Amino acid sequence: MGQAYSTIAFDASKCDGCGECMKACAGAKFESDDVRRSLIQIMPKAAAATGVAAKGAFELALCRQCGDPKCVTVCPAGALGKDGATGVIDWDASKCVDCLLCTIGCSYAGIALDEYTGRVSKCDTCDGKPACVPACPTGALRHVTTARIYNEVGGWEDLFAPGLAGCQGCNTELLMRHTLRRVGPDTVLATPPGCVPGMGSVGFNGTTGTKVPVFHPLLTNTAAMLAGVKRQYERVGRKVTAMAIAGDGGASDVGFQSLSGAAERGERILFMVVDNEGYMNTGMQRSSCTPYGAWTSTTPVGAHTRGKTQDAKNLPLIMVNHRCAYVATASTAYMEDLYAKLDKALEASEHGFAYLHVYSPCTTGWRFQSAMNIEVARKAVESNFVTLWEYTPETGLSFSRPVDRPLPVVDYLKAMGRFRHLSPEQIEHIQNKVEENLRFVQKIAEKEHG
């Protein structure tokens, strides 16, 4: 078990750019009132994510005290090192040769050149009591342990019976348990055929697997049936969350007509899609969300065929075009982001249709080792194969994770056996498609915020 260190967390939605944190830092570290000397820098949200500056939005440049710090790796002089007791990355001025490579190695702009001394400077968290945090008047900064989310939600009720039956290493169980923990017991759940009921949401041998009312609709009618259930509860005066946890196949293929209809009518339900890019629990067949080139049992690799020949359908963007009350993409590699989006989706489902699309790698069908699930999920996001964003009709579309400086897509593809056969031309096709998709989403974000 790794140690959970404390770090400074930033909530951009609470920051108004007042600069009090920078003043506190410059004062505490250098007895200076020049905020340029501050080791924490708040700046207008840039174009990094969208290509345009978002009005009134700010972002942070600060040392994240990374678990796997690139600055330490690139330093040729051994001047940087992670302190095993505190988690802080220390800088040893006596060893530093002022090459500034670390300022390039850090992708968070967490190490900067101090113009006064001509040397690097970085946050050391003020010996565990960072001056910037109490100085922030809006609560945008907090000093928390990296495992905070698990410490916080661990006590909430797990609404699935113990003993769900997933494949080894599958993170759908993690997703189900965390999601229902957050959504809470006043919920009626719909789980159409797929991995979720296969894992046990509807129970085995006459027992229930879920501690809330759960039903098992057809692939074709999940959203319509759930909308009817919600309306009946409203009719008898009971306030419940009506939620579906569906697979990508059921949602994007035969179930799409009922999903689209419910979104068009603005039914007050929360529809979550667990996207493992195929019909994985029935033999790993392709769905319309399966990416180009992927091996599945219905898009085999042989003398004449080289995996799927079509690109994946982008279901969350299609839902944006329904002008749902809330649409977001999420990943099991970014659980805090998922929790934040669940909060917003729940709120939106009180007055309209909320849609959450969660990318969830399939250990068995994607052909990778069971310990690698979160790593694969993270690489998908880091390469922009998957982008994380959210949309409301009022605020438009905005990225919730920067999309600049992505990993080459091949770094993601080579993490899985299902892409092992790809030719250089197929890899190029996928890289081009990822970039094209990104430009498309950026244009939507730009239009909303420009």
191, 214 contact by CB (below 8 A): yes
Please identify, among the stretches 18-26, 98-106, 164-172, 233-241, the one whose residues bind ligand SF4 according to the rule CB under 6 A.
98-106
Q: Determine, following the binding rule CB under 6 A, whether residue 77 of this chain makes contact with ligand SF4.
A: yes
Q: Binding ligand SF4 by CB under 6 A: which of 96, 126, 147, 240?
A: 96
Q: Determine, following the binding rule CB under 6 A, whether residue 97 of this chain makes contact with ligand SF4.
A: yes
Instruction: Record the tokens describing residue 278, joined without a space.
Output: 């195929």
Q: Determine, following the binding rule CB under 6 A, whether residue 99 of this chain makes contact with ligand SF4.
A: yes
Q: Determine, following the binding rule CB under 6 A, whether residue 101 of this chain makes contact with ligand SF4.
A: yes
Instruction: Record the tokens describing residue 10, joined without a space.
Output: 């930033």
How many DSSP H helices and E strands does the chain contain?
17, 16
Cα separation, 305 vs 309, whole angstroms: 9
For the bound state, the minimum distance from the C-beta of residue 39 to ligand SF4, rounded and expressed in Å, comes to: 14
Give the residue with the Cβ less far from ligand SF4, 80 or 88. Answer: 80
Q: Determine, following the binding rule CB under 6 A, whether residue 80 of this chain makes contact with ligand SF4.
A: yes
Residue 128: how many other CB atoms lie within 10 Å: 12
Please identify, among the stretches 77-85, 180-188, 262-270, 382-390, the one whose residues bind ligand SF4 according to the rule CB under 6 A.
77-85
For the bound state, the minimum distance from the C-beta of residue 411 to ligand SF4, rounded and expressed in Å, comes to: 24
Please identify, among the stretches 29-37, 90-98, 189-197, 384-392, the one whose residues bind ligand SF4 according to the rule CB under 6 A.
90-98
For the bound state, the minimum distance from the C-beta of residue 85 to ligand SF4, rounded and expressed in Å, comes to: 21
For the bound state, the minimum distance from the C-beta of residue 108 to ligand SF4, rounded and expressed in Å, comes to: 15
Q: Determine, following the binding rule CB under 6 A, whether residue 98 of this chain makes contact with ligand SF4.
A: yes
Q: Binding ligand SF4 by CB under 6 A: which of 8, 112, 120, 340?
A: 120
For the bound state, the minimum distance from the C-beta of residue 75 to ligand SF4, rounded and expressed in Å, comes to: 3
DSSP letter string over 175-239? HHHHHHHHH-SSEEEE--SSHHHHHTTT-STT--SBSS-EE---TTTHHHHHHHHHHHHHHTT--
Please identify, among the stretches 73-81, 227-235, 272-280, 389-397, the one whose residues bind ligand SF4 according to the rule CB under 6 A.
73-81
Q: Binding ligand SF4 by CB under 6 A: which of 62, 79, 224, 280?
A: 79
Q: What residues does 8 pair with on adjacent strands?
A: 143
Cα separation, 359 vs 379, whole angstroms: 12
Q: Binding ligand SF4 by CB under 6 A: which of 39, 60, 62, 75?
A: 75
Give the footprint of ligand SF4 on this chain (CB under 6 A).
Answer: 75, 77, 79-80, 91, 96-102, 120
